[in-house]
Structure 1
Amino acid sequence: MNAIFNALWTEWKLAVGFLKEGRIQSLMIVSGVAIGVAVIVFITALIQGLQSNLIERTLGTQSHITLSAPEEKNIVWMPESGTTHLFNEDQRAQRMRSINNWQDVLTELDQMNEFKAVSPMVSGPALIQRGEAIKSVAVIGIQLERYQKILPLQDYLKLGQLRIGADDVLIGTELAKELGVKVGSKLRLDNGQDTVLVVNVAGIFELGVKELDARYIYLDLKRAQSFLDLTGGVTIIDLTIEDIFQADAVATKLQRLTGLKTQSWIQTNAQLVNAISAQSLSTNMIIVFVAISVAFGIASVLSISVVQRTREIGILRATGAKRAQILRVFLIQGGIFGLLGALVGIAMSYALVWSFNTFGPNLFYIPVEPVLLVWAIVLAMLTGFIAAALPARRAAALDPVEAIRHV
């Protein structure tokens, strides 16, 4: 064991000695590796921060998965043949329907550990009136405590109190602006079927999505059920999960288990998912090309080092150094280039990230995950080893006699 350690220590000293002799070359290649690592870390962190911001903005106002009653089909009974036929030529108009046995479904979902939040709601259209102004809105009946885990309304509340129940409701800023109302104002809701409800504006929220801020009006679940003529029923069950990118798989599983219609955020935000995939592909391509550039730089410097130190290599071989030892000396040099370059590059990337977060346009925050730094160090050292492989093989293959004669 001591012999192996002594041999490795000797190879390490030789590698460091060669690097010290060519200080200018070593400094230049370390600088090149550092710039490459800094670019990789900064670009990767930038894209991750951008993607996180996009997802947060998108999912900040919606659940990850929704459950609803299955669509109704056109089914005709033909007594003469005693069969039932399903006709798909014309899509049947879908009416507002409750999820069958939704309380049992809710209980089962609450017991499943993969869901962070489960919230039932009833949603339907209505007309809202104040004076001569009439607007079409979406009435959302919720259990506030559960719904807060899906969408933290408290964080989006601009005016008033987070209070629903009795005749108190929450409306969006755009709707309040269009109707000219403020906290404490009275509004008249009409469900279009001769049911009228006069409500009090308890709070005004701003979700940051103009369409939602202009249409959503939150009521207590029981009040909304009565208003929409869906007493005791819910039309949607909202769910959130830990790993948002597993939403499609979980939705498919739930559809098989419950028979309900399921929809994930991935299905409803296909363009966003495509944009994220394109960004990730672009980042990977940048990493590959930067790594190749770094590898060529290390390989070229070590190739020159082999030529410059041909005589020394020949003397080492003549004094008993084995080919494997010469090979490891140059591989160690490649690893040192990668490690030093990675450490300097990480420091540079931290400076870039800090500058962006401190003096940038403040559009979003760039986080730097520790795993990204470890991955960058491993990638840089691996690139160094691979780049050093060819020059190392060439050095190890030198004939001692010819190498010593080299001028």
Structure 2
Amino acid sequence: MKRWLTFAWIAALRFLAEGRMQTGFILSGIAIGVGVIVFMSAMLTSVQTNFTNRVLTSQPQIQIVPPDEVARPLRLHDDGVIEAAIVQRPTQRILSVDQWQTILATMRSRQDVVIASPTVSGSALAVRGDASRSISILGMEPDDYFRIVRVPDYITVGDSSLGSDDILVGVDLANDLGATVGDKLNVTTAAGGSRILTIQGIFDLGSKGANERNTYVALRTAQSLLDLIGGVTTIDLTVTDVYAAETVAQDIQATLPIEADSWIKTNAQFFTAISAQNLSSTLIRLFVGLSVAFGIAAVLVVSVLQRSKDIGILRAMGSSRGQILRIFLIQGGVLGFLGSLVGSVLGAAALLVWHRYARQANGSELFPLVIEPSLFLSSAALATLTGVVAGIVPALRAASLDPVEAIRG
């Protein structure tokens, strides 16, 4: 194999082999550093992916709603004098999106919109026997809406099929009303609508507030209950790029007389937390990378001092400064690469062990583990580059040694 290697490679590998103890220590340090980077990066990626999926499967990515009603000051017709300059914000009635069929067709024709579903929502009172609870009704077309908000994935009892007299309720609401699948609820609204609905399924969205209030019915049922025949209060959308949802929402709002709210806007605190996690992860990688770089540099500096006579002999035998420079740069790169391989294995093993034993109170996993192959490739490339960069100063020092003074040493 040696005949396929250049002189610089042969000398670099020999120097590493002869200093086994130093090489072993620095490889251990690099492996631990890379293992920490792999572990932290994969764990944070898993957490963020799980949170993002939770958010995206429990709400639309963009929601189109009618603009707010605004009260304007009254003016006299003749001289323009303001008659009532102080106005209060009016109560917001349940309004239908104006010309919603045209807007729905426009949304479905956009290249950046995947699914568009009309919905009707409002408040109601659910009564069963002596028990009553305030609920939020959402009427929709199941075939489209359940592709946006994956309610069927959260059904614990019954199923998600909806007829005109069916309703889906949360597990906490069912417990409060003492109801289960097949029971009847008397649902009434402030608009005067009243309907006896049968519980078709019970879901668990993972949020007590949502499980206590959210209910789902067919679109026409909600329109009848809320006295909104032929109208819809919102149009829910999913887009091709979930992280471009705010840009798409602003574009829609600029071209149509409606308001468009993206999931990014309505989950500002979530993105603040994600940004804080990304910053902390970046800082951890930076400081771990710096510690690895200084460790490699320290070992190579010691190697230059210990091998100054060897370097002098190599220079006296005709080795160029460039060859001496490459010897120590190769050593730094090899140390970084080998350390990254060992560190990646350690990080992956730690992830699997942690995921195996870190459990919720009910024994289920905390969240699905996401391990991307690109993480290991980027870690190996970063560690190798760090090793080469860390070897620049020792390499320059070695290449600048005077052969005679180095041999006299």
TM-score, normalisation: structure 1? 0.94
Q: Which moved more, 1:329-338 or 1:232-241?
A: 232-241
Q: Which moved more, 1:393-402 or 1:59-68?
A: 59-68
8 Å contact from structure 2 (residues 72, 87) kept in 1? no
Tell me the residue number matched to 1:234. 232
Residues of 2 paired with 1:268 and 1:88: CA distance?
30
Residues of 2 paired with 1:55 and 1:372: CA distance?
19
Please point out which of 122, 125, 145 is paired with 1:124: 122
Return the letter of the residue paired with 1:211. Answer: G
Tell me the residue number matched to 1:42. 39
Tell whether 2:147 aligns with 1:149: yes
Tell me the residue number matched to 1:97. 95
Tell me the residue number matched to 1:396. 399
Residues of 2 paired with 1:120 and 1:158: CA distance?
26
Q: Give the direction of change, closer, same or farther, for the CA distance of 1:83–1:380 in structure 2 (3 Å limit).
A: farther
Return the letter of the residue paired with 2:21. Answer: I
- 1:266-325, Cα deviation, whole Å (9 max, x unpaired): 222222211111111111111011111111110011001101111111121122211111
Q: Give the direction of change, closer, same or farther, for the CA distance of 1:297–1:120 in structure 2 (3 Å limit).
A: same
Determine what percentage of the aligned residue pairs are the same residue: 43
Tell me the residue number matched to 1:62. 59
Shift in Å, 1:71: 1.0
Return the letter of the residue paired with 1:43. Answer: M
Shift in Å, 1:365: 2.6
Question: Would you say how many aligned residue pairs link Structure 1 and Structure 2?
Answer: 402
Residues of 2 paired with 1:123 and 1:356: CA distance?
43
- 1:18-77, Cα deviation, whole Å (9 max, x unpaired): 111111111111111111100000011011111122222333311122110011111245
Shift in Å, 1:377: 0.6
Q: Give the direction of change, closer, same or farther, for the CA distance of 1:30–1:85 in structure 2 (3 Å limit).
A: farther
Residues of 2 paired with 1:269 and 1:321: CA distance?
63
Tell me the residue number matched to 1:220. 218
Tell me the residue number matched to 2:362. none
- 1:315-341, Cα deviation, whole Å (9 max, x unpaired): 211222111111111000000000000
Return the letter of the residue paired with 1:255. Answer: Q
Please point out which of 186, 189, 209 is paired with 2:207: 209
Please point out which of 245, 265, 271 is paired with 1:267: 265
Tell whether 2:381 aligns with 1:378: yes
8 Å contact from structure 1 (residues 98, 234) kept in 2? yes
TM-score, normalisation: structure 2? 0.93
Q: Which moved more, 1:284-293 or 1:124-133?
A: 124-133
Shift in Å, 1:343: 0.5
Tell me the residue number matched to 1:3. none
Return the letter of the residue paired with 1:251. Answer: A
Which ranges of structure 1 fall in alignment gaps of 5 or more residues?
A: 1-5
Q: Which moved more, 1:243-252 or 1:351-360?
A: 243-252
Q: Give the direction of change, closer, same or farther, for the CA distance of 1:49–1:88 in structure 2 (3 Å limit).
A: farther
Residues of 1 paired with 2:5 and 2:327: CA distance?
9
Q: Give the direction of change, closer, same or farther, for the CA distance of 1:395–1:371 in structure 2 (3 Å limit).
A: same
Equivalent residue of 2:115, what SS?
strand
Q: Give the direction of change, closer, same or farther, for the CA distance of 1:116–1:298 in structure 2 (3 Å limit).
A: same
Q: Give the direction of change, closer, same or farther, for the CA distance of 1:320–1:85 in structure 2 (3 Å limit).
A: farther
Shift in Å, 1:249: 1.8
8 Å contact from structure 2 (residues 73, 87) kept in 1? no
Tell whether 2:339 aligns with 1:341: yes
Residues of 2 paired with 1:241 and 1:390: CA distance?
51
Please point out which of 17, 21, 28 is paired with 1:20: 17
Q: Which moved more, 1:186-195 or 1:37-46?
A: 186-195
Residues of 2 paired with 1:155 and 1:213: CA distance?
14
Tell me the residue number matched to 1:183. 181
Q: Give the direction of change, closer, same or farther, for the CA distance of 1:88–1:352 in structure 2 (3 Å limit).
A: farther
8 Å contact from structure 1 (residues 73, 86) kept in 2? no
Residues of 2 paired with 1:84 and 1:232: CA distance?
38
Q: Give the direction of change, closer, same or farther, for the CA distance of 1:82–1:165 in structure 2 (3 Å limit).
A: farther
Residues of 1 paired with 2:321 and 2:370: CA distance?
46
- Calculate the aligned-residue CA RMSD, in Å: 2.1
Equivalent residue of 2:72, what SS?
strand
Which ranges of structure 2 fall in alignment gaps of 5 or more residues?
A: 360-364
Equivalent residue of 2:6, what SS?
helix
Return the letter of the residue paired with 1:22. Answer: G
Return the letter of the residue paired with 2:51. Answer: L
